[in-house]
Structure 1
């Protein structure tokens, strides 16, 4: 199968039929499947999906609401296509952009093509401005330079999508996760429509989740394979500062001054203990990282391709090969 289109939905009953019709109209001539992952809807979304008579439709129904990240993971696990597309189920993404994205991915050998909503049909105060701030922060901290990280319309090579671990709320950082797998990433302008039915599931309440997940992404990006560099360096800084403070207090004590009860004494002790603790945590995390790779026979690197040049030699006569094989046979 050429393409799997994954749509994650939560209470989007009114948008089901129009989106399926648009996908079918946009992908005429392609071999594809439409995978709907229902994330515990309570408004009859599953019943609406089951009422559709479409042989390309695959329905994955969750027992309860697990979140968009795990819904995407389930859809990717079920997908059979060589390429995997993801999109929201609220009719704001346009399936007409998928053929152009697929053509770009195949023609220029990209691993991930991300949509950029150039004419975004959302409110400025609650959606556009926070999104621009988040995009600027993610772009500068992650090192993955895209203009729009929040567009759900994406197209992957299957092997890249299936190697990503989209746990927790990491669907917002799919491009960063793909970058960790060594993916070649590009972005293309796509259409964006205003929501017609239902209510948005996004809001300012996700800000703190985005910040915490960004910290996790930075750890994955820079220190996953060398956690000792993060914890030990911080621990050494604290330990050295604490040691300097304590040596200073020791010198005062030798000179006859009373150092007991000074706040700086408590600070020095706390810094030394904190430094020792961070260094210890670094050692433990280093051991866990090695256990993670070695227990599963994983490698901390990804090979895109191995090319071996073939040595051209003159073929030997058939008779000499047969004679040599006979000479190699053990005597009975």
Structure 2
């Protein structure tokens, strides 16, 4: 069976009223493209599954989860099942517009981008509860990770399959997919896409996700800077704590020699805590280094990725003659 050009991965959760218009619009938008659609049903409690089975065509796969595992795991499952040369991701709530897919795919092909991300130019969401928190989060992520996209919350993106299938999606890292792609050296751009207000169903997001985003951002920064060398983080902090503890305790020792009573001073407690903390941090760094090596070596993973290999033309032996 030939690979399709495009695999469209769509996550759905309690979207029974959106399934028919979603599939109709997607099939119409992709009528001129060799495609497959992969729907991941993330533990819905309504008739989402029945609606998909009713309206899906022969190019559509449906993955049904036993329970709700979250959007990141749903995207990971769909990407793992995809067979296309390019993989598109899209929400199933009809706020993303499938008619943007051909344009994004063509840009990826023509200009040889690894990732083309959508940016909701005229976002149709609430200003206070959705737009303002989103703008703040986008600004923080953009400046912290140095991956300069304007809209991290837009799921509508197209990836080269090799990039998408090697990102390693866990937890709730779907918000940081561009950062994960950039870690692989992906060449990335952004285009304006259409955005529609939600007509059916209710939003699955709220202000509570802000804290999750900030926690995941700390993890992303660790991945970017220290994932392959954790001793540089823990060892550096540990050495600073050790030096601080040594200086404090040396100062207190001098005072003790001079006859002063140092017992019970808060500074002495700080000195001992610094020494013990420094030892613990350095030990944590060493253990982390062992874990990283186990992670790579036990699975034969590489610490690098090769984009392409060029083989020059073969020169036959004796074809080059030297002049005497």
Q: TM-score, normalised by structure 2?
A: 0.96
Partner of residue 135 from structure 1, selected from 127, 138, 147:
138
Cα distance between partner residues in 2 of 1:206 and 1:272:
37
Q: Deviations over 1:145-167 (max 9, x none)?
A: 11111101010111111111110
Go from structure 1 to structure 2 and tell me whether the alpha carbon gap of 1:240 and 1:266 turns closer, same or farther (over 3 Å shift): same
Q: Which residue of 1 aligns with 2:18?
A: 15
Partner of 2:322: none
| Partner SS state of residue 77, structure 1 | helix
| Residue of structure 1 aligned with 2:49, choices 23, 46, 57 | 46
How far has the Cα of 1:311 moved from its partner?
A: 2.9
**CA deviation after TM superposition for structure 1 residue 143, in Å:** 1.3
Aligned to 2:37, the other structure's residue is in SS state: strand
Match of 2:226 among 223, 239, 246: 223
**2:298 alignment counterpart:** 295
2:173 counterpart of 1:170? yes
Is 1:188–2:188 an aligned residue pair?
no
CA gap 1:222/1:18 in 2 versus in 1, 3 angstroms: same
Q: Deviations over 1:54-93 (max 9, x none)?
A: 1111110000000000000110111111111000001000
How far did residue 313 of structure 1 move?
Answer: 3.6
Q: Partner of 2:205 in structure 1?
A: 202
> Which of 251, 268, 271 is the aligned partner of 2:271?
268
- DSSP-derived class of the 2:203 partner: coil
Instruction: Please state whether the residue corresponding to 2:17 is helix, strand or coil.
Output: helix
Q: For the residues of structure 2 that align with 1:304 and 1:314, how far apart are their CA atoms?
A: 30
Answer with 288-297 or 273-282: which moved more: 288-297
Match of 1:234 in 2: 237
**Offset at residue 296 of structure 1 (A):** 1.5
**How many Å separate the matches in 1 of 2:56 and 2:119?**
32
Deviation at 1:53, TM superposition (A): 4.7
Q: Give deviations 1:211-266, integer Å, cap 9, x for gaps.
A: 11111110111101111110111111111111111011000000000100111110
Number of aligned residue pairs: give it: 316
Partner of 2:90: 87
CA positional deviation for 1:299: 1.1
Task: Please give the TM-score of this superposition, normalised by the length of structure 1.
Answer: 0.93
TM-superposed deviation, 1:314: 8.2
State the alpha-carbon separation in 1 of the partners of residues 84 and 148 from structure 2: 28
For 2:11 and 2:218, how far apart are their aligned partners in 1?
25
Query: Unaligned regions of 5+ residues in structure 2, if any?
Result: 320-324
Shift of 1:312: 3.8
Larger Rg: 1
- 1:217 & 1:53 partners in 2: Cα distance? 37
The answer to whether the 8 A contact 2:6-2:86 is kept is: yes
Distance (whole Å) between structure 1 residues aligned to residue 273 and residue 247 of structure 2 = 13
What residue is the counterpart of 1:101 in the other structure? 104
| CA RMSD after TM alignment | 1.2
Partners of 1:301 and 1:313 lie apart in 2 by 33
User: Aligned equivalents of 1:145 and 1:242: distance in 2?
Assistant: 40
When structure 1 is superposed on structure 2, of 267-276 and 303-312 the one drifting more is 303-312
